[in-house]
Structures are given as structure tokens and as C-alpha cells.
């Protein structure tokens, strides 16, 4: 190696040695439990319903408490609901057709209890048939599926003709079934298609049988779902035309979400 290269190498080593050491900056402050906590806004205080008396939560809209059908009207005529109220329950009167809430609702938690009569007759869809229509368009099926088979996307708790339940948790005729339904209303594009589908969770007798399902459209008896642009809508209870003995409802309330 010639002298010139030796000199360049030496100068390079000297320059490298002259580079300052990295500056020792302060490290991020250590996390403390309180740094990830927030205290406001505090949730509103809601008194839960009393199991012993079947009362509704304090913030619920009571749709039927066993006394009258003042919150309901006939879907057919718009006049007074013509179902039979007795002994704290309401029984379907098939001659009067469906009934629906006078008020319309957006997203909600809906609670209702229903019973198939002990003396029920019939089979498949002709046995204790009714339904709960969410916003008047999307049916959660009501049917006696205790030892009674039918097409699975039309059985108890199904989103009718769309989504079968994950389990059959029917109580036998003469005993009360409980539905807790959590429903989120859809968001529409300008052209009337879904931007966000309506969603539903169905809990029957304490068991989740439909979990956060994207409803595909109206629940048609004949044909496939249709997308119908809509706003708030009523809860409809169906008076089905099957020949079996009519079912009864009690303790119906709704919490807007």
C-alpha cells in the first residue's frame, strides 16, 4: 500500500472516531393504571326488572303489562287491537288479524314471552304459528317446535326463510317461552340498497340461537328477500291462518338503543 492510501485510511479512522455518541434522550414515562381510565360520562342508572313480578326495566317502553292493548292497533284497520286480554295475558284472536304497535321504533332490545296452549294440535307450520315482525318487515318466527319438525329456516326463532336457529330450545306446550331480541336498524345508500344491513340477535329461553345476523331483506313467504328502503317501523305480532289453537303473549317491553 502506498503512502497516500495509508494516509487516507488513517484520516478515515480518525473521522469515524470523531463521530459523537448518540444523545441520551429521556425515555417515555412509565404507564400508570390511571393513565388508561376515564370517569365521564357516567352511564344512566337503570333499575332492572323484578324477576318475581315480571316487571320491565325502569327505562323500558312497556308494550303489554297484562292490563290492556292501549299500545297496539289492528294492522288491518288501524283501529283498536281485537285480541283477547285475560288473566294478565293476551291471546291471538285470528278473526281480527295481526296487531302492531302504535309507535314506530329504530334500533331496540325487545322482550316478550309467549306460550303454546297445552292442548295444541297440528304439525309442521300448522302448529302454534305466529311471528314477531321487526320494523314491520323482518320476521322472527314463533312456532311450536317441541317434538314437531318443519323446514329449519322456518322453525322457532328463525329469521323466516333466511336463517335457521343454532338450537331448538322449545319448552313443551303449556309452558312459557322467552324471547330477547336485539335489533339494529339498517343504513341505506341513496339508491335504496343496504349500506349497512339490519342485524339481529335472538335469545330464546336464555340461549343465543341467532347471533348478530345480517338480515338480507324482507322475510317473504313466497320468493326471496327484497330490499325495501324504510325508516322507523312498528313491532307486528302475527295472527297466522293455521287451524291450530291460538297462542298467548305476556310481559312485552322494549328498550330503544
The predicted-structure confidence for 207-222, as pLDDT tens digits, reads as follows 999 999 999 999 999 9
Q: Tens digits of per-residue pLDDT, 217-251? A: 999 999 999 999 999 999 999 998 888 899 999 99
pLDDT at 51: 82
CA atoms within 13 A on the CB side of 22: 3
pLDDT for 161: 97
The predicted-structure confidence for 159-216, as pLDDT tens digits, reads as follows: 999 999 999 999 999 999 999 999 999 999 999 999 999 999 999 999 999 999 999 9
What pTM does this model have? 0.87
- 161, 120 contact by CB (below 8 A): no
pLDDT over 60 at 130, yes or no = yes
Quick one: how many helices (H) and strands (E) in the chain? 1, 15
- Mean pLDDT score of the chain, rounded to an integer? 92
User: Pick from 146, 112, 121: which is nearest to 237 by CA?
Assistant: 112
Give yes or no for residue 112 having a pLDDT over 70. Answer: yes
Alpha-carbon span 201 to 7, nearest angstrom: 80
Amino acid at each position: 500500500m502506498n503512502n497516500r492510501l495509508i494516509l487516507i485510511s488513517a484520516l478515515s479512522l480518525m473521522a469515524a472516531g470523531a463521530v459523537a455518541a448518540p444523545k441520551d434522550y429521556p425515555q417515555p414515562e412509565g404507564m400508570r393504571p390511571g393513565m388508561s381510565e376515564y370517569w365521564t360520562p357516567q352511564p344512566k342508572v337503570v333499575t332492572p326488572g323484578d324477576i318475581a313480578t315480571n316487571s320491565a326495566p325502569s327505562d323500558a317502553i312497556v308494550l303489554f303489562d297484562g292490563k290492556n292493548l292501549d299500545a297496539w292497533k289492528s294492522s288491518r284497520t288501524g283501529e283498536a287491537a281485537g285480541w283477547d286480554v285475560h288473566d294478565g295475558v293476551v291471546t291471538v284472536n285470528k278473526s281480527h288479524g295481526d296487531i302492531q304497535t302504535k309507535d314506530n321504533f329504530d334500533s331496540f332490545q325487545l322482550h316478550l314471552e309467549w306460550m303454546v296452549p297445552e292442548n295444541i294440535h297440528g304439525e309442521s307450520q300448522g302448529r302454534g304459528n305466529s311471528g314477531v315482525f321487526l320494523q314491520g318487515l323482518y320476521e322472527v318466527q314463533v312456532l311450536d317446535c317441541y317434538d314437531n319438525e318443519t323446514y329449519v329456516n322456518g322453525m322457532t326463532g328463525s329469521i323466516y326463510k333466511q336463517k335457521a336457529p343454532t338450537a331448538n330450545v322449545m319448552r313443551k306446550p303449556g309452558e312459557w317461552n322467552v324471547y330477547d331480541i336485539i335489533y339494529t336498524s339498517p343504513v341505506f345508500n341513496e339508491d335504496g340498497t343496504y349500506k349497512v344491513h339490519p342485524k339481529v340477535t335472538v335469545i330464546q329461553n336464555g340461549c343465543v340461537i341467532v347471533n348478530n345476523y345480517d338480515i338480507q331483506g324482507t322475510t317473504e313467504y313466497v320468493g326471496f328477500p327484497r330490499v325495501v328502503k324504510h325508516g322507523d317501523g312498528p313491532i307486528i305480532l302475527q295472527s297466522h291462518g293455521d287451524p291450530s289453537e291460538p297462542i298467548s303473549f305476556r310481559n312485552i317491553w322494549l328498550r330503544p338503543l
